[in-house]
């Protein structure tokens, strides 16, 4: 039986491509900004593109902040994508400080434009990069279980999460000498800085694994 997946519609995000990927992998997908539809889902996806503050403002103004947090607290699988992942942290520093959802302790900060050698790093970080397993971490039993370390996924972002709890970091990538938190996870709550829906076969494997959790 297919899983009921709600993609949170708060007016921002790559909604259609996310919905297509979930449907392709067998999800019974509802794109909705209705709190009751959110509460009744088996799986929840919070997408996001653009600025942290704008996304959190839209989520709150549509009265969806509390339904999303309530869903997370039930223990059902939740996935934040790109800014959807960033919003799960305490604070975002894009265009000033903005309050996030506080699911993961930490802040979302600008990628350092300066390299160690004094050269300039291209901002935003756009393109494919290779996923790495942090020391002491395993992907077994997580949404990255079907992925091999070193396989590439697609990024578009200028800000990156800094986790207070190292154990929350599921994957990283090296972007011109700067460590980017590529994925986070704790129990049922997951997030990807990259876009699974734009990451080809690797991304679809991740989506399929998320739906199986």
Strand partners for 92: 98, 108
Q: Tokens standing for 167?
A: 């154990």
Q: Which residues are catalytic?
A: 82, 195, 197
> Measuring CA to CA, which residue among 160, 107, 170 is closest to residue 134?
170
**Upstream peptide bond of 124 is cis (omega within 30 degrees of 0):** yes
CA distance 196 to 206: 7
């Amino acid at each position: 039986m297919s899983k009921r997946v709600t993609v949170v519609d708060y007016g921002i995000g790559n909604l259609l491509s996310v919905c297509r990927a979930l449907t392709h992998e067998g999800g019974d997908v509802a794109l909705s900004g209705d709190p009751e539809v959110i509460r009744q889902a088996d799986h929840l996806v919070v997408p996001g593109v653009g600025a942290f503050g704008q996304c959190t403002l839209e989520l709150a103004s549509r009265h969806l902040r509390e339904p999303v947090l309530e869903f997370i607290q039930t223990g059902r699988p939740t996935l934040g994508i790109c800014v959807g992942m960033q919003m799960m942290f305490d604070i975002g520093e894009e265009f000033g400080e903005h309050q996030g959802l506080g699911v993961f302790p930490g802040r979302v900060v600008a990628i350092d434009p300066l390299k160690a050698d004094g050269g300039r790093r291209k901002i935003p970080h756009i393109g494919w990069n290779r996923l790495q397993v942090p020391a002491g971490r395993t992907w077994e039993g997580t949404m990255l279980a079907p992925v091999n370390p070193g396989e590439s996924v697609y990024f578009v972002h200028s800000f990156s999460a800094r986790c207070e709890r190292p154990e929350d970091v599921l994957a990283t990538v090296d972007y011109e000498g700067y460590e980017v938190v590529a994925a986070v996870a704790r129990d049922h709550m997951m997030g990807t800085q990259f876009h699974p829906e734009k990451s080809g076969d690797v991304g679809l494997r991740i989506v399929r694994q998320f739906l199986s959790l």
